[in-house]
Amino acid sequence: MAVTKLTGEEIEANLKNLPHWEVKNEKLHRELKFKDFVQAWGFMTQAAMLAEQMDHHPEWQNVWNKVVIDLTTHSAKGISRLDFELAQKMNAIASNMGV
């Protein structure tokens, strides 16, 4: 089943249920700050396992205690439901870590 790009209205509606995320450069975007590098890397490790299970991988970077995430679905040429699903899972991981 092909994944389709969401409309602007669908994105705005979904953002209402997705704390800490915004649309930046036509991607779902979040910046997280952890207590240290180990906690940031722990978050990325947990998120990577979920992303691999979903076969949907983030664009992200890590510098010491900061993780910057951008989500988009390349095959849909924009934001899709997969991006929101992964973002929700990432929010749960961060919340469980106290972030």
29-84 pLDDT, tens digit each: 999 999 999 999 999 999 999 999 999 999 999 999 999 999 999 999 999 999 99
Q: Which residues contact 40 (CB under 8 A, 6 or more apart)?
A: 32, 34, 62, 64, 65, 66, 67
Q: Which DSSP string do the residues of 8-49 spell out, in sequence order? A: HHHHHHHHTTSTT-EEETTEEEEEEE-SSHHHHHHHHHHHHH
Q: What is the pTM of this model?
A: 0.96
Element (H, E) at 85: helix 81-96
CATH numbers and ranges of domains, the chain: 8-96 (3.30.1360.20)
